[in-house]
Structure 1
Amino acid sequence: MAYNLTVLDPFEFEELVCDIFTKKFDELIESFKVGADQGIDLRHICADKNATTIFQCKRYDENGFYELKRSAKKEKEKIDLLAPEKYVLVTSIPLSPKNKKELLDILKPWCKSESDILGKNEINTLLSTYPSVLKKHFKLWISSTTILESILHSHTFNYTDNEIESFIEDLPKMVIHEGFYRCKDIVENHNHVLISGDPGIGKTTVAKLLMLDFMSAGYEVAFVGTNIDEAWSLLHKTKEENTKLAIVYDDFLGRTDFNENKLTKNEDRRILDLIKKCEKSSNTKLILTTREYIFEDAKRQHGALHDNEREFEKYAIKLDDYTKKNKAQILFNHLYFSKLPESKLVKFVESKIYNILIYHKNFNPRIIATFCNSKTAKQYTDDEYIEYIKKAFSNPVAIWEKPFHDDISETAKIILLILLSLDGQSHFDELRSLTSKTIKRPTSLEFETEFLNSLKQLEGNFTKTQRIKSETESTYLVRFSNPSIEDFLINLSRKNPSYIRDIVDSIQFFSQITHLIPILVTKEPPNNYKSDLIEELLKKTISLEGSFRKRPIASFNRNSLFWYTEGISVFSVIAAALILREAIHKRIPEELLEKMTKTEFWNEEIKKSAMPGNVTSQLGALVGYIAESNFYDDYEKHLFEKSLRKSILTDEHIDSFAMGLDDVINLEYVLTKIGKTLSYDEMDFLLRFTEMRILPDLVGGHDLDELEHALNAVEDSFLRSSVIEDEISIRLAELEDVRERMSKYTSSHGSGEEADKEGKIDLDSMFSGLKEAVNQIV
C-alpha cells in the first residue's frame, strides 16, 4: 500500500520515523524538542554495543531532490563534529539508485552504505511491516491510495467528489489533535456524537475527518442541511439494502444563533428519536455539530433538549484542547503549505508575530486560514500584512470589512448577498439569473461582462468555484470560501437591513425566504425601517405563494451529476408568512384564517403542493407556531387542527406523512399539540395504517436493532398494548433464538498517550524552518 508522505509536516514526518524505528528496534528512540538540532533529529543507542546511531529526517516535496542534496552538504559539517558510529538519512522523497549514490558520496564515512539512506519506498515498506504505527498517524493512513480509492468510489448524498477531493487536498494543513480521537471513540462506542465549540475552532473539520474514516470502512455518507426529515428519509431508503450509513448534520441548530425556524416545533423530538435509533443500530452513525452557545440557548428554549441532554454523547472542542504544540503546528502548517510569497513568509518569521498569535485569546484555525490566503495577502505590503494579521486576531469578523466595502464592485456585493440567501452556494446559471433580477443593464452583453468581472473579483477571496461534471453535462458550483464570510454578511445585514432590501427582487425560491427570515426576525423588536422590510418580504412571500419555483440543486450520487428539487410544502409557506406577520404584529387575514379551518382548503393545497416524501417536520412547525401564538383564540386553533386531521388522516394523503413506524408516532405527536388527544376514529385509522402498511415490512426483516428500537418506541407511544406491539415482540423473540446480538465495535488507538509537554518546543527555531523551506513552498 502506497502512502503519501507529503501530507505530513516536517514535525509529523519526524514523529513517524521515530515510531517506525522504535517498533523496528523494539527499543527507545530518543527524540528532541522542536528547534535547532545540531544535526540530530533522532538518536538510538544500542545497549549491547554501546553504539550510537543518529537519524536525520528530511521532509521535502517529491520533486525536491536537489534541495535535499544541498541540505545534505550543509549537514555534513555538523555530522563531522558529532562523529557518530552510524548516520541514517530518512527522507520523504522517492530515491533512485543514482540519487542514493550521490547522497552516499556526500555523507561518507558516516553513512556506511546506501542502505543507510531511506526514501519514500523504504518507508512504505516499513509501514507495511509495522501497520500498528499507522494508528498514530491518521492523516497518513487516510491518504493511502487504497483508502482514497475506496473513499472516492463510495456513495455520498449532498456532497460532491470535488468537495471530498478539496478536503483531502487540505489534509496537510490539518493537525490531528486529541479531540478527534475522543470523538472517534464516542461515535464508535455509542454510534453518535455531538461536536460543539466556538465558530472556526474545528468542529466541521473533525466531522469531515470522521466522514472520511467511515467512508473508508464502507459507509455511505449523507450530509443533512435542512431538517432531520432528510436523515429519516435516507434511513428508510437504505434500510432495505442493509446499507451502512453515516449521517453528518452540520450546524443542526443554525449557524449564527438559535432560532425557532431551524429547530422546528417537533424536530427536537425527531433528533432525540434518531439518536436512540442509532444507539440500537450497528449500521448507522450520527454526527451532529453546533456552536456551544447556540446549544445552550436551544436547551433553555426547548424542554426536550434540556431534559434529555444526557442522550447526547457530547464532545466540546475548546481552545484549551489545543496544546501549545498543536497551535504552533496549525499555524506552521497553514504557512508551510500555503502559496504565500517568499517575502511575506520571511517577514512573518522575522517579526516573530507567531509568539503573539499562539498565545492570543482569539486563536482560531479559521482566522489563520483566512490570512494565509495568497489572494488576500497580495493586497498588502509586507509590513501591512503583519498589521492585517494583528487586526484579524483582535476582531475576526472585521477582516472582511475592508475588502467588502473598498475592494469589490456593487455587483459583486449583490452576488454575495444573493449567495447568503441561497445558504452560501449556487450553481452558475442560477446565480447569474438571480443577479440579473437585481442588476439592470441596458444590454445583456453589458450585464454578462459586469457579472463575470464581479465573479473574478470574488474568486479566491470571498468565493471558490468548483466544476461539477458527468459524462453528459457539467456546471459550476459557486460558494463562500470561508464560513466567516457568512457570519460577516449576517452581522452586516442585521446592522444595516438595506443590504437585504437590495436583493428582494432576486427572490425566486422559497428557500431564499427561509434563509432571510432569521436574519431579519430576531429577539430585538424591529425598528420602522426593518418593519417595512419585513412587510416587503411578506408581500413577496404572498405574491409568490402557489407559484414558487422549487429550486433545482446540482449534486453527485455515485459519481453521476443529477438535479433534484427542494421539498416545499404548503405548511412551510404558511409558517413563513406567519413568522413574518407576527414579527410586525400583523394578524392573518380573516379570509385566510377561515380557509385554514376548512378540510377542503388543506385537501386542495396538499394536492397543489406536490408534497415531498415526508413533511412531518414542516407540518410540526406550522402547528407549533399556531399552538403557541397569541393571535388566535382556542376555538380558532381547535378548528384549524380538526381540519388538518381530517385532511391528513386519509388514505389519499397519509403516505406523504408516514414512511415508517417513527413517522406514525411523530405524526400523532404533531396532531395533538393543540387538541391533546386523537378521536377514536382517528386513532383507529393510524392503527390500521400501521398494521397494514408499516408492520409487514418491519417484522419481515432480520434487523434485530431495528426491531428493538421499534419495540421501545411503541412502548412509549399510543401504539402500546396493540397487535403491533405483540407482533414486534414475537419477531424479536424469534431472531434472538437464532443469533446473539452483535457487540459494538470498540476501536483502540495510539493517540494521546504521548501527549506533548508544554515546555518542549522552541518557537523561534520552529518557524525559522519556514525560511529554509521557502524555495519549495514557492
Structure 2
Amino acid sequence: MTNKMAEYDFRTLSPPDFELLVQDLLQVELGIRLEGFKSGPDGGVDLRYSKAFDNDIVVQCKRYIGNQYRTLKLNLEKKELPKVLKLNPKRYVVATSVPLTIGQKDELVSLLRPYCKKRSDILGAEDLNRILRENPKVERSHFKLWLTSTEVLQRLLKHGIFTRSMIELEEIRRRISIFVPTESVKRASKTLDENGVCLLSGIPGVGKTTTAEILVAQLVEQGWECVVVSSDIEEAFEAFREKEKQVFIYDDFLGQTDLNPRLGKNEDQRLLQMMGVCKRKPKLKRLILTTREHVLDQGLREHEKLKRANLNPSQCVVALEDLTESTRAKILCNHLFFFGVNQKTRKKLVESGAARRVIDHANYSPRVTETMCELYVDERITPAAFGRRFIQLLDNPGDIWREPFENQIGGDARVILKLFALHESDQRLSDLSLCFSDYQIAAGCDLGQLDRRFKRAIGELENMFIRLAEQRAFTYVKFHNPAVKDFLKQVLTEEPQFLQAVAQRVSVYSVVLSAYEILIRTASFKPEPSEVRFAIERTLNTPELRFFEVSEGCFPWTVSPPQRLNDWIRVLSTLNASAITDEVMLIVDRCLTEWDNPVKDVSMLANKFYEWATKKKSSVTQPIEPLVDRLLNHCNCLEDLRYVSELTSSADRSKTLHKKVEQKFYDQSIAWVNDEIESSELAEHADDVINEYEITASVLGVDEAPLTEERSRVSEMYEEVEDAEDSAEPLSGLDTEKSEADDILDSLRY
C-alpha cells in the first residue's frame, strides 16, 4: 500500500487530471457533490456546487510545476478576479498545486474578498496532501499520483519493473503520466485475477509492455513481490517462494522477431509448469507474458507444447480497436502536455484541424505520437509545421527517419544501422564493431582505418538513431526509438544487394540468417549452393551473445549449433533448388555424426532432417541406429525420451528402434520421476512430474501401472498449500471519465 505520509507535488497530473483529483478531494472534505465541466474556456468555473441556479460554491483549480506563487497570484488578479466579480458566487475556493505560506494565503484571501471568506478557502499543495492522507481511497483511485511518488518509484526500480527501457525517475514519471488506461487494461486485469496468467499480445507500438508494467506496479503496491524474467523462465523458479505473493513478468518472452524464437531447451515445458502453478493459485502467484502477435503465431508453430496448451483463456490482445476516439484524444493531449509542446503549437494543431485528423488516422498509435513529440523537442518544429509533419509521419511512418537516414549520416553509419537492425536484440558495441569489420574487410577496406571509421559513425548515430549504455564494464547499443528498427526493416526489404553482401561476408549467425529470411520473402533469390553451405558453416559455431537489459545489467545468451541448423532448415525449406538441398543435407549429415548433445536439439534437428529429406525425395545417408543409440545414452529425463521417440517414429518404419526407446523408459523412468520429485522445491511440481510420466507413457504406448505406487507415495510426501484467504485488491482508478474527443482536443487551445 502507499505511504500515508507521502507528499506529492502533482507534477505528473495533467490539468484535467488535477481537476478531477481536486473534485474528489473537495467532495469528501466538504461532504457535497461538485459539478465538473468539459475542458475548455471555463468562465471562471472549474467546479461548482449549486442548489438551484445560484453559484453557491465556485472552485478554481490551478496546477503549476514547482513553487510559482507569483505566477499564481498574477493569474488570479488579472484573469480570474474579473470573472469572479461577474459570477458573484456565495463562496469562492482556489485549489492549487503551489505550496503556500500563511502570509501568502492571507494575501490571496484579501485579493479575492468577499468571495473568499477565510484562509481555508485557499487550498495549497500541503492542504491537498493532508486531505489525501485522511482519505486513502481517493489516493488509491488516482494511480498516476501515488505510482509516480519517489518512494514508490524507487521500490519499483528495486523490483526491476521499468529498467528495461527507462533508467531515471523523471523519465519513468513522464511515461506513467502520459499513459491512458484502455479496455485492454480492464480485460488484462480481469484475466489476471481470474486465471493467474495473462498473455498480452498485439502489434508493435500499441502498448503491451506499458500495460504489463502498470498492472505489475499496482500489484507491487498491494504487497506483491515482482520478479522480472529477462531471458529464461528458470529465473522465476529460482526466485519462487511458495507462500509469498509473487507476480512474474516476462516481456517479449518469444523474442522480438519470428526469426529466432527465444525459448531455450526445455523452456516451453518449464513455462507451462509455471503457468500451471499460477492458474491453480491466482491469489498467490501470477504470471504476465507479452509478445508480438506475429511472433506468437510463429512460436506456436515452433513449440508444439505451447500449441497443445490452449493459451486462449490467458490471452488478452492489446488492440488498436481499444483506442477509442476519446482515448486517442487523451493520449495525444498527455503526450503534448508532458513533452512540453507549447500552447501556441497545441492551439494551432486544433484550429487547423490537424488534431482531429491525427486521432482519426488509420496509422495512429501511441508510438507514432511519442515519436512526433520527441522530434518536436529535438528539432524545435514551428507551430505551423508541427501539424503537417504529424500527418506526414502518419501517412508514411518511415519517412520521418528516411530523411535523416539518407541525408544526415554517412555511408558507414547507414551500414552499421542496417547491420544492427538484422540483429535479434541489443548488442555489445564491440560485437557490432566486429560485424562492421566483417562486412567492410570483405569489400576490400583497409583494416587499419576501420576502428576510426566505426567510432566516427557511432558518434553520428548516437542520440539520433541509437543510445549507448554502460553495464558491467562494457558498452552495448540500443535503438533510440523502437520505430527506428521498424523503419530499417522496410529499408532492408528495398536493398537485396546489401542483404546478399551480408550473407556472403558476415559471420554473426542471427544477422546472416535474418538476411536470408528477408531475401527469401521479398526477392527472387537464387543463391549458389556453395554460398549457402559456406554461410551455414561460417555461422554454425561462431560465438554470439545477445543481450537483454535487466535490473542487474545485461543478461547474455546464445543459440546452440543444433538449434542454428534447425533454423537454417526452416528458413531454406521454401527454396526448391535440389543442389541447395543436397548441400544442406551434407552439413546436417556430418553434424549429426559429430554431435552427442543436447538430446532435444539433436533429436528435433534429426527429425526435421528426415522429414525434409522425404519431402525433397532425397536419399538419407545418415544411419539412424547409431544416432538413436547415442541419443539414448544421453537421455536423462522423460522429455528427452519423447523427442527421441518422435525421431524413431518418423525415420524407423520397422519400429525396432522404437523398442529401444520403450526399454529405456522401463529401465529409467521411475528413477527419473523420484529424482525430480525429491529435488523439487514446489509442491505442485510433484503432480507435474507424474503427469509428464503419464504423457510419456501414452506417447510411447506403454503401461502406466508401475507408477500407481509412486502416486500414492507422492501424495503422502506433499501437502497442498492452502490458497491465501485474503484476495488481491482489485485494480482501481483505471476507469476514466468518458467525454467527447472534440471536447478533449479543444482543451489543447487553452
Is TM (by shorter chain) over 0.5? yes
Structure 1's 249 and 20: CA in aligned 2 closer, same or farther, altered over 3 A?
same
Which stretch of structure 1 is more off in the superposition, 511-520 or 15-24? 511-520
Structure-2 separation of matches of 1:571 and 1:72: 73
Task: Report the secondary structure of 1:762's partner residue.
Answer: helix
Candidates 762, 766, 773, aligned match of 2:743: 762
1:234 and 2:230 aligned: no
1:394 and 2:377 aligned: no
- Provide the residue aligned with 1:455 in structure 2: 458
Q: Which amino acid aligns with 1:766?
A: S
Structure-2 separation of matches of 1:394 and 1:411: 29
| RMSD, matched Cα | 4.2
Deviations 1:184-213 (A, max 9, x none): 221132121122333322222212323434
Structure 1's 314 and 751: CA in aligned 2 closer, same or farther, altered over 3 A?
farther
Listed as ranges, the gaps of 5+ residues in structure 1 are: 770-778
Structure 1's 384 and 168: CA in aligned 2 closer, same or farther, altered over 3 A?
closer
Structure 1's 30 and 550: CA in aligned 2 closer, same or farther, altered over 3 A?
same
Q: Give 1:234 deviation, angstroms.
A: 2.4
Structure-1 separation of matches of 2:129 and 2:664: 64
Structure-2 separation of matches of 1:450 and 1:597: 42
Deviations 1:10-67 (A, max 9, x none): 11122222223334445422211122211222223479xx983222222221244443
The 5 Å alignment of 1:597-676 reads 598=593, 601-603=594-596, 606=597, 616=600, 618-619=601-602, 622-623=605-606, 625-630=608-613, 642-650=625-633, 653-654=634-635, 663=639, 667=643, 671=647, 674=650
- Provide the residue aligned with 1:421 in structure 2: 422
Structure 1's 102 and 26: CA in aligned 2 closer, same or farther, altered over 3 A?
closer
Q: Which amino acid aligns with 1:108?
A: R
Structure 1's 671 and 630: CA in aligned 2 closer, same or farther, altered over 3 A?
closer
Which stretch of structure 1 is more off in the superposition, 709-718 or 11-20? 709-718
User: Does the 8 Å CA contact 2:49/2:56 hold for their aligned counterparts?
Assistant: yes
Q: Give 1:96 deviation, angstroms.
A: 3.8
- Provide the residue aligned with 1:477 in structure 2: 476
Q: Give 1:248 deviation, angstroms.
A: 3.9
- Provide the residue aligned with 1:698 in structure 2: 677
The 5 Å alignment of 1:184-199 reads 184-199=189-204
Structure-1 separation of matches of 2:81 and 2:626: 87
User: Does the 8 Å CA contact 1:328/1:763 hold for their aligned counterparts?
Assistant: yes
Structure 1's 673 and 220: CA in aligned 2 closer, same or farther, altered over 3 A?
farther
User: Does the 8 Å CA contact 1:357/1:363 hold for their aligned counterparts?
Assistant: yes
Candidates 534, 539, 544, aligned match of 1:539: 534
The 5 Å alignment of 1:713-728 reads 713-718=692-697, 721=704, 726-728=709-711
Task: Report the secondary structure of 1:149's partner residue.
Answer: helix
Structure-2 separation of matches of 1:164 and 1:721: 57
User: Does the 8 Å CA contact 1:4/1:140 hold for their aligned counterparts?
Assistant: no
Q: How many residues align?
A: 729
Q: Which amino acid aligns with 2:650?
A: I
Q: Give 1:568 deviation, angstroms.
A: 2.9
What TM-score, normalized by structure 1, do the two folds share?
0.80
Q: Give 1:298 deviation, angstroms.
A: 7.2
1:90 and 2:95 aligned: yes
User: Does the 8 Å CA contact 1:711/1:725 hold for their aligned counterparts?
Assistant: no
Structure-2 separation of matches of 1:249 and 1:462: 26
Structure-2 separation of matches of 1:669 and 1:161: 46
1:205 and 2:203 aligned: no
1:56 and 2:69 aligned: no
Structure 1's 595 and 540: CA in aligned 2 closer, same or farther, altered over 3 A?
closer
Structure 1's 5 and 623: CA in aligned 2 closer, same or farther, altered over 3 A?
farther
- Provide the residue aligned with 1:78 in structure 2: 83
Candidates 543, 547, 566, aligned match of 1:575: 566
- Provide the residue aligned with 1:776 in structure 2: none
Structure-1 separation of matches of 2:734 and 2:746: 25
Structure-2 separation of matches of 1:135 and 1:476: 40
- Provide the residue aligned with 1:773 in structure 2: none
What TM-score, normalized by structure 2, do the two folds share?
0.83
- Provide the residue aligned with 1:12 in structure 2: 17
- Provide the residue aligned with 1:732 in structure 2: 715
Listed as ranges, the gaps of 5+ residues in structure 2 are: none
Task: Report the secondary structure of 2:467's partner residue.
Answer: strand
- Provide the residue aligned with 1:67 in structure 2: 71
Structure-2 separation of matches of 1:534 and 1:177: 52
Task: Report the secondary structure of 2:159's partner residue.
Answer: coil
Structure 1's 76 and 692: CA in aligned 2 closer, same or farther, altered over 3 A?
farther
User: Does the 8 Å CA contact 1:158/1:222 hold for their aligned counterparts?
Assistant: no
Structure-2 separation of matches of 1:131 and 1:692: 56
Q: Which amino acid aligns with 1:541?
A: I
Structure-2 separation of matches of 1:331 and 1:697: 53
Q: Which amino acid aligns with 2:64?
A: Y
- Provide the residue aligned with 1:682 in structure 2: 661
- Provide the residue aligned with 1:358 in structure 2: 359
Q: Give 1:88 deviation, angstroms.
A: 2.2
Task: Report the secondary structure of 1:111's partner residue.
Answer: coil
Structure-2 separation of matches of 1:151 and 1:385: 35
- Provide the residue aligned with 1:774 in structure 2: none
1:492 and 2:498 aligned: no
- Provide the residue aligned with 1:464 in structure 2: 467
Q: Give 1:308 deviation, angstroms.
A: 5.5
Q: Which amino acid aligns with 1:570?
A: P
Task: Report the secondary structure of 1:477's partner residue.
Answer: strand
Task: Report the secondary structure of 1:285's partner residue.
Answer: strand
Q: Which amino acid aligns with 1:147?
A: V
User: Does the 8 Å CA contact 2:545/2:556 hold for their aligned counterparts?
Assistant: yes
Q: Give 1:332 deviation, angstroms.
A: 1.0
Q: Give 1:453 deviation, angstroms.
A: 4.4
Q: Which amino acid aligns with 1:647?
A: R
Q: Give 1:368 deviation, angstroms.
A: 0.7
Q: Give 1:578 deviation, angstroms.
A: 2.8
Structure-2 separation of matches of 1:756 and 1:35: 16
- Provide the residue aligned with 1:519 in structure 2: 518
- Provide the residue aligned with 2:731 in structure 1: 749
Structure 1's 45 and 733: CA in aligned 2 closer, same or farther, altered over 3 A?
farther
Structure-2 separation of matches of 1:296 and 1:146: 40
Q: Which amino acid aligns with 1:466?
A: A
The 5 Å alignment of 1:31-46 reads 31-45=36-50
Q: Which amino acid aligns with 2:490?
A: N
Q: Give 1:354 deviation, angstroms.
A: 0.7
Q: Give 1:334 deviation, angstroms.
A: 1.0
Structure-1 separation of matches of 2:299 and 2:249: 19
User: Does the 8 Å CA contact 1:414/1:435 hold for their aligned counterparts?
Assistant: yes
Structure-2 separation of matches of 1:124 and 1:200: 36
Q: Which amino acid aligns with 1:488?
A: F
Q: Give 1:766 deviation, angstroms.
A: 0.6
Task: Report the secondary structure of 2:94's partner residue.
Answer: strand
Q: Give 1:382 deviation, angstroms.
A: 4.7
Structure 1's 482 and 702: CA in aligned 2 closer, same or farther, altered over 3 A?
closer
Structure 1's 567 and 149: CA in aligned 2 closer, same or farther, altered over 3 A?
same
Which stretch of structure 1 is more off in the superposition, 24-33 or 534-543? 534-543
Q: Which amino acid aligns with 1:572?
A: Q
- Provide the residue aligned with 1:221 in structure 2: 227
Structure 1's 538 and 90: CA in aligned 2 closer, same or farther, altered over 3 A?
farther
User: Does the 8 Å CA contact 1:159/1:223 hold for their aligned counterparts?
Assistant: no
Structure-2 separation of matches of 1:413 and 1:742: 56
User: Does the 8 Å CA contact 1:203/1:289 hold for their aligned counterparts?
Assistant: yes
